[in-house]
Structure 1
Amino acid sequence: MTKSATPATPDQTNYAAVHTDIVALLEAARRAAARSVNALMATSYWEIGRRIVEFEQGGKDRAEYGQALLKRLSADLSGRFGRGFSERNLEQMRLFYLAWPPEHISQTASAKLAAARISQTASGELALSTISESLTRKSFDLSALAQAFPLPWSAYVRLLSVRNEAARQFYETEALRCGWSVRQLDRQINSQFYERIALSRNKAALLKKAERAEPHDLMTPEEAIKDPFVLEFLNLKDEYSESDLEDALIQHLADFLLELGDDFAFVGRQRRLRLDDSWFRIDLLFFHRRLKCLLVIDLKVGKFSHADAGQMHLYLNYAREHWMQPGENPPVGLILCAEKGAAEAHYALEGLANKVLAAEYQTVLPDEKLLAEELEKTRRELETRRIGRGDATEGEA
């Protein structure tokens, strides 16, 4: 009886080398994919802005004409392509084109390509030529023009909020030179880096310091793809959590509320909302049929703080203005804290129309103690399951 051949084990040193090489390749590919999506998105929005501006120029009263155009476009594009085409977003695309007009792009294209490390050889000259051609006509060759917009769309949105044109150009140049992430750009603008540079006696040292990124400035390719603007552009769902534990708790909580009876109707999960240029994420949104109101649920894996209560009231104000339908009662908020040893639940009932309504909400909604106990029980089960999987894996190794 012949012995079955044992599979050959790859040499550890050679395997480590090929594994490292493949990891680097995939990470580079993911970064390139994220940059490509962002560049095409910025280019598309610039082209939309160009068409809006050119259409406005044919109107007798540009202000009224333009506003009517944005309103109609918003309704039609949202119906066809989903999110991302609110009147505010379309207005930002219009402003994007006005702030980065064709002549501005033509004058600075070579500098931007150099900052983005595209060599000024024959291929670089060809890229500049292609960009120039795309600027002179309404071209659908977006990939050529995309080279003129090396920053992600969220960076251009942040730059649009800088009213001083010289400051805006400075931040754009430094973002390209230093390879700033959107978080880094936001931090530098908030710290008034442009004004500090103007007042500094040692500008070179300050500019050198700005090249260094802080730990929370860095963004992975996954985070870049999860950017709300990217998700809107690709019309993808943005249901994701920051941890496996949070994701499992949210899912279990949704199932638990639905099991309490048919009063709870599921509306959405990880619902994003945008205020000015900041994004927020509501974990769960239900509608309570008997109370005729929305229930906004926010889960906190960490310790509860007063900022969480303020954020919930922001959500409720937004829901009352944008999501509440005629004949419904004001929405109510539920904050759940899942920190180990300190699980708790609290309803945000302030601001309701009257005390009778608040009392009715308190009576009909699930007991806070029951929710806290269920949350604590679920968290323990999930942690035990996770530890069990870890032990099993170690035993197999």
Structure 2
Amino acid sequence: MSDKQELMLIESTLLPEIRQLIDQSRQRAAVAVNAELTMLYWDVGSAISEMLGGQRAEYGREIVTQLANVLTAEYGRKWGVSTLRHCLRAVEAFPDREIVYALRTQLSWTHLRKIIFIEDPLKREFYTEMCRLEGWSTRQLNERIQSMLYERTAISKKPEKTIQSDLEILRADGKVSADLAFRDPYVLDFLGLADTYSENDLESSILAELQCFITELGTDFAFIARQKRIVIDDRDYYIDLLFFHRRLKCLVAIDLKIGEFEAGFKGQMELYLRYLEKHERVEGENLPVGLILCSGKNEEHVELLRLDEANIRVAEYMTQLPSPELLRQKLHESIERARAKALMDQEDASDA
């Protein structure tokens, strides 16, 4: 065998295998180093917190500053005041060492450093578990926090006990509830649509940016078909988009609408769902779910039609992301309104 033939053989067979071995070893080493660093930072924060006890804030700041001066002199600038404060905050956010130990190989210290400064405990747990489950990079985590993913997820509009229960099931069993899987509104600013567009323009843009659309939907959504043709009584109907959700184990039919939600949309989606249930659902799958995406949403229509009972969800979509202040105000109002209604429903049920 000539030298050229030997080189070709090495490049085609041996080299890819060795590259894979090296890359896998580097990845395992990086995970191990990160895991050790995460526990180190938490343990440092725990030691400082224990020493401070209930001391006043001014005393705590002085101790941290003096400690940082000593540590930076011995170990370098990375052990400055900022790092020590992050260590302390990590202990405040995650007081249970076992939880941090379990997360150490799944989330980097950079992930945790972003999560620990989320004040709301439920929101913090949401981002922790979803980040772990879907394997977000630190950039993706930051983008989802900035786009207020928690507030846009259906679970945020439920009573706190429901949120806590769903998050505990997610952490313990990796099971995602429908309220964790669906959002409202969906931000589709990546489509680049003009001020006026048709339903066909919307659908075509989604297919052209399918990867971004799935990222916005959630990584468990798997694309199946566009304009899925179904035949009922010799009449043709077309489901705009058909997906499968891996963790919910069900088909998800998506209907795209221009304008506000109308009562007639329910009957159309129910027809799709019953067809899918009868002809497309396979053994082991749950009942299909319908998602009607509208550019506007009439809350009272949605409430009176009892869409949840029909396994149908309605959500708005935004083709342009509003200012953070406007989005925050809109979402907080929606959350407060939904939670107030849920509490009223609970009180009515108790009285009955």
Task: Give the TM-score, by structure 2 length.
Answer: 0.43
Greater relative contact order: 1 or 2 (C-alpha under 8 angstroms, separation 6 or more)? 2
Task: Give the TM-score, by structure 1 length.
Answer: 0.38
